[in-house]
Amino acid sequence: MSTTVKPETDGPPTRRTRRQARKGATPDNTPEHGRVDGPAFTADGRLRLPATRHLSSEMVMLGGVLLFLIGGTWDVSWHIVAGRETFWSPPHLVLYAGILLIFGTALHGVSSAWQSGRLPTASSLIGIAGSAMSLASAPLDDFWHRVYGLDVTIWSPPHLLLIGGVTLASFSAMVGIAQVVSRAAGGASWHAFSAGWTPATTALFFSGGLFTAVGGASLGEYDFDVARSSVAYHPPLLAALTAFGLVVTARAGRRVGGATLTAATFTILHVLLDWIQLGLSMPRPQVPLVLLAAPVVDMVLILGGTGHRHNLGPVGTVAGAGALYAATLMLVQWPYTTALAGSVWSLSVLTRAAVPTLASGAIGAVAGWIVGSKIGGQPALGGIPDGAKVSLSRWPEFILAAASIGLAGTAIAPAVRNNGAPRPIWGTEANSLVDAPVVGQLTLRPASPVVGEPMTMRVMFTDATVLQTVGRSPAVPYESPRAGDIAEGVMQAAGAPGVYEVTFTPREAGRRWLTIYLPGEFGRMAASSAFTVGSTASGSLAPPSSTRSIVMRPEPGPDENVPGWLEPVTGAGIGLVLAGSLAVTAWVLRRIDVR
């Protein structure tokens, strides 16, 4: 039973009434005032947080997440083209503006609730946890670079903390929107594809697609074809992340076809990113074919929830949906990535990754169903009835049509045109995009190297400053990574001063970078170039000449003067920030109001 107190005055809430409100006894405890409409505690004695009733804050937070996604995509391509740069680069300004927008909006929601004697909404609390996690990653990333040097991968702990925080923030907006949709659904029923469509429904599937896209940003190295890790990691990670996003949104929205609608918004966002990158004349990431595999999830959920004889129960049905989705994703990505000649899901890759991908798809789907049940209300593990009525709403059809047209024009048609030809080199070979000094030339023997055959890289420095730096050094350190095949060591002097070469056998086809590390006046520098290695079947695209330019970029290594305490502090800080944000989220989800 809840306790209701009368306001002491008609003026602003007093300290006493605010304290009583946070304990569950709120003045004027009515929905119109945005307070908890009913008991402030659950049946087992846990505090019940009030539900979101107006979506203005959630939509602003989603705008911040979209800014981060645009800025983050731009930032990856900026690093490919220009290398390491100042914190105040244009992409950083865009992505951190998005994070600050999320943090400010969530903080305003909590502050307003506190000042008016209310408990904050679950959406605001999770939004603060996620955006604070992302903001904390900035100084931790700087500490990390000082301790370990520049990281050239998205998969460094501070970078994953940054992406994870914004993913959590996008989830916070989904939580608030799902509460509004759950109330509008009126009980435990599932809607048919176009039934009961409201603006909140559009917002929910937009948030689901954005949530899935931001989580998938952690795999950006594969989308841009600059991965340092093996391509065999890509299928299970993509299957797990997207299966979770599709199922959590479909379950939270309780809509037949919800996974396909989420995949459609995910695809529209990727098409938008492609257009923006095209307008900026920057490298463009590939668009995963999630939309082509997502209908499998909906079909299995429908068949498994209508009382058929072979019904495996909700968990078994959802796990089967995730596994079949993963299998379908592998089938469609195989020819697609082969035609694009990027991070190729070849037969050998799929042979190694098949079982982990099926398992990760099933696990991601089940986890999405459990979380979606928590934020979407009852039925917690219910099925989809047969008799839902279809309204005249055309929004779902419009979303699917836009996504299908965009996918065909942005992803499938370019793949068909490319037909397996090596992708063009960006950055050091596209010198018109690089504002960096040319310091030498790279010569390859053979000029068009292929996988499994020895190749020689010969470097000749022509810049006077670099020649003075290397002098007559007998060797210089180098690295040449490609999707888990990382050739590294030293290039040996080859006769004349400033000339070095090394021979190795590439094991992975595709574009590779060569980085030679040199000391500089203000820290370590990197002399970089790029080239393409072809497969043994198709050979390699011959370049217009046998030489390539080498440009100089700042690429600082570990700070030699770093204090000894900074390394444990950096590791502990990353762990504490991550644990704190996840603890807040778990606490909020246990007290969420989905009635």
Asked if pLDDT for residue 294 goes beyond 90, the answer is: yes
Q: How far apart are CA 539 and CA 545, in angstroms?
A: 17
For the entire predicted model, the pTM comes to 0.84
Beta-bridge partner residues of 481: 486
How many CB atoms are located within 10 Å of the residue 375 CB?
24
pLDDT surpassing 70 at residue 26: no
Q: How confident is the model at residue 522 (pLDDT cuts 50, 70, 90)?
A: low
Q: What is the pLDDT of residues 39-59, one digit of tens each?
A: 455 555 555 666 666 778 889
CB-based burial, 267-286: b 16+ in 10 Å, e otherwise? bbbbbbbbeebeebebbbbb
Structure tokens at 538: 């198709």
Provide the CATH topology of domain 431-554: Immunoglobulin-like (2.60.40)
At 186-218, the pLDDT tens digits run 554 666 666 667 788 889 999 999 999 999 999
Please determine, for residue 175, whether its predicted confidence score (pLDDT) is greater than 70: yes
Token pair belonging to 280: 């900026």
Supply the pLDDT for residue 425: 57
- Which pair of structure tokens corresponds to residue 246? 């599709």
Which pLDDT does position 67 carry in this prediction?
96
Please give the Cα distance from 161 to 217 (Å, whole number): 12
Domain boundaries, the chain: 56-423+581-590, 431-554
**Cα gap 388→270, rounded to integer Å:** 32
Q: Is pLDDT above 50 for 310?
A: no
CA distances from 244 to 185, 381, 382, 450 (A): 22, 16, 18, 38
Cβ contacts of 535 within 8 Å, gap of 6 or more: 450, 451, 509
Cα(578)–Cα(571) distance, integer angstroms: 11
Using CA atoms, how far apart are residues 359 and 373, in angstroms rounded to an integer?
A: 21
Q: What is the mean pLDDT of residues 218-234?
A: 90
pLDDT tens digits, residue range 427-459?
444 444 446 678 888 999 888 888 889 999 999
